[in-house]
Amino acid sequence: MKKLLFLGGSDIQIPGINYAKQLGYYVITCDYLPNNPGHKFSDKYYNVSTTDLDAVLEIAKKENIDGITAYASDPAALTASYVSKEMGLRGVPFESAKILSNKDDFRVFMEENGFKHPSYKKVNSIQDVKDFVKEHGKSIIKPVDSSGSKGITIIDSDSDVESIYEESMKYTRNGRLVIEKFIEKLGDQICGDVVVVEGKLVFAGHGNVHFDKVCDPVTPCSITLPYNNDVKKVEELNNILQDIFSKLNIEHGTFNIDALIDTNGDVYVVEIGARNGGNLFTELIKKNSGFDIVKATLVNAVENLTIKDLNKGYTDNNKTPYCSHYVIHSKHNGILEDIEFTNEISGNIFYRNIKVNKGDKVSKFTGSNKRMGLCLLEYESYDEMIEKVSNFDKYVKVKLK
């Protein structure tokens, strides 16, 4: 039985853990949270942080694993690459993973290789931020190694630069920030998961990102499928991604991407994560496209998956044309009294997971760590999907004391 080391055991990783076991793999989970629910479903658990490269490598050697995955876990992506390199397993080259895992390094890579990128600067002080905003106007500041939009803030000349800088610094493990000129979008932002096999981008599942601007204009609360952007521009995006993967010498893996088209029609790759998307995005893509991206992600980590293999056993005709996920969240800090789902939305929901209980403290949604739960939904039409996602507060009522 092949062994798969699964980095993490959160609620959104449970479907991946279960699927790996259905594929016949012996699944080992590890993280520093023994009460994470996913560990109940794995065959074995180690209480080791997924960002501790050498400690995870020690487990991998001890268990003589056949593969490792940072399934839906951005912080674990670099560890997965490190272990695969040290043990000769399939994975993203370590130097490439370092570039993808650090937003400032990725900006340098994009600039040096001639890809579209916003003006940017690595900042080491509050004054650096003020100088950049003075020159470029509306900007966005980011911890270079944060995930789930934590510590990312839009900033301009009227912002409280000192407090924003200090808040961003809380979410970087290596003490680095980057600031970028804000890009005005044409249409909705694009988020996707793409699969690379034998160096080729063999599948792309793209959707559109939606935000609750009352809470935070940079933390996604929903992704809808299919995308509504110009098809030719999305084809251009896929060509750019292929070029990036080739220059990074990436042969295998599933990657989560964020991209946008600016008001001039130029395509920008904002970020690439060396792992599949969170919030059960792979499950959503599988349902929408009929392509079993979950299976491809897991098999690609363990076995010698080839392009020829994808011709059988990875695609069926059972598709849901319109679907989305939605992150249940609060617009305010408080004590949870109840979460009510109206009849108009209950019929759309095919998966629901609420992480909090009545009486729990909840926080305003400013990052993925503040989510209260998650729903996966299907719809009869595109218009119905957009109306319900845009007015979700009308259908799901979060009541606080």
Tens digits of residue pLDDT in 285-317 = 999 999 999 999 999 999 999 999 998 889 988
Question: pLDDT band at residue 279, thresholds of 50, 70 and 90?
Answer: very high
Residues 6+ apart with CB under 8 A from 348: 377, 378, 379, 388
Domain 3-89 matching CATH 3.30.300.90: the answer reads no
User: What integer pLDDT is reported at residue 24 of this predicted model?
Assistant: 97
- Confidence band (pLDDT; 50, 70, 90) for 368? confident
Domain 3-89 and domain 119-181, same fold? Reply is no
What is residue 32's predicted lDDT score, i.e. its pLDDT? 97
Answer whether residue 182 shows pLDDT above 80: yes
Q: What is the rounded average pLDDT of the residues 27-42?
A: 97
In tens, the pLDDT along 141-150 reads: 999 988 778 8
CATH superfamily placement of domain 119-181? ATP-grasp fold, A domain (3.30.1490.20)
Domain residue extents for the chain: 3-89, 98-102+185-311, 119-181, 323-400
Average pLDDT, the chain: 95
Q: State mean pLDDT over 328-341.
A: 95
In this predicted structure, the answer to whether residue 45 has a pLDDT above a threshold of 80 is yes
